[in-house]
Amino acid sequence: MMEHRVKQQSDFGIDYPIKRETAPKNFLKLFYPFHYSVGMAVEKHLSGPDLTRHQTVILWMIHSKGENGHTIHRKTIERLIGEWYDLGSPAISKVLRAMADKDLNLISIKESETSAREKVIRLTKKGQATVNEMINRTEAFIGLISDKLTDEEIEAGMEFMSRVGAIVESGLVSRRP
């Protein structure tokens, strides 16, 4: 099985043997194909035919970082989206207003009970249905990928991505140099 892995991975110029010492260099060689090719393909499937990239990201933030997957503070959206895109407060407000507009009706925007200056963003029923469609569509796409992998490759990949995500999100590794 190792020969098969070497052959597939060698397309990206991986240095063997794969060890802690070669990990940073090899990780960086995989950055473009994973972040851009894989990440953008997943984002495209999440977006589907109707959502913009910013709308997709905001819906996904509400789903993955919001309270019970449906409510989030506007300031949290602003902080998180700023990590993905160079998007300022006025631009975020514009996207949120469009998402709350009666034509889209994906979210509601209300004043926080604790601060009149803070807004609370909540998925509407249509917004929740849209997130469910996003998940179903993207799980089907990811299923096409996982069908080409062994159970061991899937388990190892999931464990690796989970650990890397936890390390980066814990703040132990600075996000900006």
Q: Where are the domains of the chain?
A: 1-47, 50-144
Which of 54, 25, 53 has its CA nearest to residue 40?
53
DSSP single-letter state for residue 87? -
Q: How confident is the model at residue 144 (pLDDT cuts 50, 70, 90)?
A: very high
Give pLDDT tens digits for 45-104: 999 999 999 999 999 999 999 999 999 999 999 988 877 788 888 899 999 999 999 999
Give pLDDT tens digits for 120-136: 999 999 999 999 999 99
Instruction: Please check the confidence at residue 162 and state whether its pLDDT lies above 50.
Output: yes
In this structure, are strands 107-111 and 119-123 parallel, antiparallel, or unpaired?
Answer: antiparallel
Q: How confident is the model at residue 174 (pLDDT cuts 50, 70, 90)?
A: low
CA distance 108 to 124: 6
- CATH architecture assigned to 50-144: Orthogonal Bundle (1.10)
Q: For residues 40 and 34, is the Cβ–Cβ distance under 8 A?
A: no
